[in-house]
Chains A and B, each alone.
Chain A
Amino acid sequence: MVDLSVCVGNVDFRNPVILASGTCGFGRELSEYIDFAGIGGICSKGLTLLPREGNPGCRAAETASGMLNSVGLQNPGLDMFLTRELPFMAGLGTKIIVNVAGHSTEDYQRMVERLGSPDCAVDVLELNLSCPNVKEGCMTIGATAEGVYSMMRAVRGLTAKPLWVKLTPNVTSITETALAAQEARGDAVVLINTLLGMAIDINSRRPVLQNNTGGLSGPAIKPVALRMIHECYRILSIPIVGVGGIMNASDVIEFMLAGAAAVEVGTASLLHPAVCAKIIEDLQTYAADNCIEKISTLTGDLQPW
């Protein structure tokens, strides 16, 4: 029997496959189709202190091998999450990661305090410093190493729970922001959020998205994610959680070889709701066929030329 378990810092996962934020809600819908007890973990929809209705109008555009979205963090807000969604998630039988987003340092602090308290049934906090679809907070903070560092410093002391930092690829140097997260005692970095992009309707001569721009996801961004994970793995001492265009078990292996300790699967769930279960099954087969006893040994095992 292959051992699919992995550790990200001091958190153990039964396998490396986590459902990514923004493509699984809080697990309610997908729980009708998959057994979460077989999944590594679930990362909640990006959560803010107060409820948000998100961006108006058209929010999605298909692209070559991917899609753009400009949802804009539509979510029920922290209070509703704690009373209605978290109890449901806690019953799923898998690790719970909450994606924490905000407008300001105070927002992030208040959320980390509550979600990071010992009596809250959350295993990991994923700090969203990378959503490209809101005017304040998120990517505007995560675009510089200074921004990442000061935000992490502002929240680090407020919780003993693992703090992962989800970073944006829309930067000149991903290693600088990743190092800033590490220096401020982040427990892991999550690479990568969506790439800022645009789609245009040639008939109306307007952007397809009413927000004008959106975040590009899907297989189109996988090569960028792999490169960034590889660059960061070479210099970081904290673990990396890889995300960006993973569609199948083969992609997971690539991400792990590049340096990911675990992965998050996002857009693929929009196409095939039960894809995570299939990926885990195929990882078992791959490992067995290749005499890999422990899947975690793949992490960083890339042999660059």
Chain B
Amino acid sequence: MEIEFEAVLVGKKILGKGNALLTFSCGGIAGKAQPGQFVNVSCSYFLKRPFGICFVNLEAGTFSIGVREAGVGTKDILQSKIGDSFFVLGPLGHGFSFEGVTKIIAVGGGTGIYPLYFALSKAREIGIPTICVNGFRSREDAFFLEECKGIAGDVLISTNAGDYGVKGNVIDALAQLSETQMQGAAVFVVGPEIMMRKVSEWAAKNGISCQVSLERRMACGIGICLVCICKVKTSEEGVPFHHVRCCREGPVMNASEVIW
């Protein structure tokens, strides 16, 4: 099976300072990608950089990722031009499970909105109702909302500054949901770890299942180097926890298994 592809940058949409949606031509990845999976993209530095897949276009044979500047590697990738070529591994990891899911509350923080968009697209395709909850620092920092509004049933926004949507964080926004909206839903969360932890606690308190997409420093992305570990619960006697690989067993994990 082919896992590494040469992908050409065919689209670049700037969505703010140091934030862009990049589209690559690569039928091999586009044809197989599932929501929650990621790609590992080469840059001018030694290691590839992992990004959750935002959406695919099967007809065009392209996949898109959202990239926000977080260090030298992402800065380098953001500076690339249309026509530039990359080595890309993908699609990688274990994505969101739609098994038994009949309603989705998708909760995103910052760039978490990108991989959630793929999950929302699939939900729409298979007829699952969705509510999308996105948290930003302020209105100025908000991005990709029109796209989400286009595919999600409802979109709720929270801003810390309070200048757009609910004032506060995503938990404050989730507090606005009615019993009916929450009933029978599954929560999908992608964002900063503290946010995912708080949302998973909120979901547990409300008896809602919750899937989180974990982020770690990665190297290989395929499960052979064991650097991107996450602590999970185990029922084995005398064993307090196990380390599993974010890139292989994850990045999407059942929140109830994660030791934060």
Evaluate contact between B220 and A269: CB separation under 8 angstroms.
yes
Q: Give the distance to chain A from B162, nearest Cβ to Cβ, in Å.
A: 28
CB-nearest residue of chain A relative to B231? A56
A45 to B248, CA, bound (A): 17
**What 4 pairs between A and B have smallest CB-CB spacing?**
A60-B227, A270-B220, A59-B227, A29-B223
Evaluate contact between B226 and A74: CB separation under 8 angstroms.
yes
B260 within 8 A of A: no
A109 within 8 A of B: no
A284 within 8 A of B: no
In the assembled complex, which residues on chain A have CB atoms less than 8 Å from the CB atom of B60? none
Evaluate contact between B47 and A33: CB separation under 8 angstroms.
no
Q: What would 19 A/B residue contacts be, using CB atoms closer than 8 Å?
A: A22-B225, A25-B223, A30-B224, A33-B3, A45-B226, A53-B242, A58-B217, A59-B217, A60-B227, A65-B46, A67-B47, A71-B227, A74-B226, A74-B243, A269-B220, A270-B219, A270-B225, A272-B4, A273-B224
Evaluate contact between A74 and B229: CB separation under 8 angstroms.
yes
A272 to B217, CA, bound (A): 18
In the assembled complex, which residues on chain B have CB atoms less than 8 Å from the CB atom of A271? 46-48, 220
**In chain A between 16 and 38, which residues have their CB closer than 8 angstroms to a CB of chain B?**
22-25, 29-30, 32-33
Evaluate contact between B3 and A71: CB separation under 8 angstroms.
no
Determine which residue in A23, A62, A74 has the highest number of CB atoms from chain B within 10 A of its CB, and name it. A62
A33 to B225, CA, bound (A): 16
Interfacial residues, chain B to chain A (CB-CB below 8 A): 1-4, 45-48, 73, 87, 89, 216-220, 222-229, 231, 241-243, 248
Evaluate contact between A23 and B225: CB separation under 8 angstroms.
yes
Evaluate contact between B1 and A33: CB separation under 8 angstroms.
yes
CB-nearest residue of chain A relative to B241? A53
Evaluate contact between B229 and A273: CB separation under 8 angstroms.
no
CB-nearest residue of chain A relative to B1? A32
A66 within 8 A of B: yes
A9 within 8 A of B: no
- Contacts A25-B224, A71-B227 given; does A63 touch B46 at CB 8 Å: yes
A176 to B158, CA, bound (A): 65
Overall SS of chain A's interface: loop
A272 to B73, CA, bound (A): 18
A69 to B87, CA, bound (A): 23
A155 to B29, CA, bound (A): 49
A162 within 8 A of B: no
In the assembled complex, which residues on chain A have CB atoms less than 8 Å from the CB atom of B3? 32-33, 273-274
In the assembled complex, which residues on chain B have CB atoms less than 8 Å from the CB atom of A223? none
A279 to B43, CA, bound (A): 22
A74 to B87, CA, bound (A): 29
Q: Give the distance to chain B from A265, nearest Cβ to Cβ, in Å.
A: 12
- Contacts A53-B243, A273-B89 given; does A60 touch B219 at CB 8 Å: yes
Evaluate contact between A54 and B229: CB separation under 8 angstroms.
yes
Evaluate contact between B1 and A273: CB separation under 8 angstroms.
no
Evaluate contact between A218 and B2: CB separation under 8 angstroms.
no
Q: Give the distance to chain B from A239, nearest Cβ to Cβ, in Å.
A: 27
CB-nearest residue of chain A relative to B40? A271
CB-nearest residue of chain A relative to B71? A62
In the assembled complex, which residues on chain A have CB atoms less than 8 Å from the CB atom of B45? 62
In the assembled complex, which residues on chain B have CB atoms less than 8 Å from the CB atom of A61? 217
In the assembled complex, which residues on chain A have CB atoms less than 8 Å from the CB atom of B87? 272
Evaluate contact between A273 and B222: CB separation under 8 angstroms.
yes
In the assembled complex, which residues on chain B have CB atoms less than 8 Å from the CB atom of A53? 241-243
Evaluate contact between A54 and B225: CB separation under 8 angstroms.
no
Evaluate contact between A24 and B224: CB separation under 8 angstroms.
yes
- Contacts A53-B241, A59-B226 given; does A273 touch B46 at CB 8 Å: no
Contact with B along A264-300 (1 / 0, CB 8 A): 0000011111100000000000000000000000000
Evaluate contact between A29 and B248: CB separation under 8 angstroms.
yes
A217 to B47, CA, bound (A): 12
Evaluate contact between A274 and B243: CB separation under 8 angstroms.
no
Determine which residue in A54, A64, A270 has the highest number of CB atoms from chain B within 10 A of its CB, and name it. A270
CB-nearest residue of chain B relative to A52? B243
In the assembled complex, which residues on chain A have CB atoms less than 8 Å from the CB atom of B73? 62
- Known A60-B217, A60-B228; 18 more pairs at CB < 8 Å: A23-B220, A23-B224, A24-B224, A25-B223, A29-B224, A33-B3, A56-B231, A58-B217, A62-B73, A64-B46, A65-B46, A67-B46, A69-B219, A71-B227, A218-B46, A271-B220, A273-B89, A273-B224
Q: Give the distance to chain B from A53, nearest Cβ to Cβ, in Å.
A: 5
In the assembled complex, which residues on chain A have CB atoms less than 8 Å from the CB atom of B46? 62-67, 218, 271
A94 to B44, CA, bound (A): 34
In the assembled complex, which residues on chain B have CB atoms less than 8 Å from the CB atom of A22? 225
A59 to B219, CA, bound (A): 10
In the assembled complex, which residues on chain A have CB atoms less than 8 Å from the CB atom of B48? 271
A32 to B222, CA, bound (A): 10
Evaluate contact between B224 and A59: CB separation under 8 angstroms.
no
In the assembled complex, which residues on chain B have CB atoms less than 8 Å from the CB atom of A30? 222, 224
Q: Give the distance to chain A from B39, nearest Cβ to Cβ, in Å.
A: 14
CB-nearest residue of chain A relative to B47? A62
Evaluate contact between A269 and B47: CB separation under 8 angstroms.
no
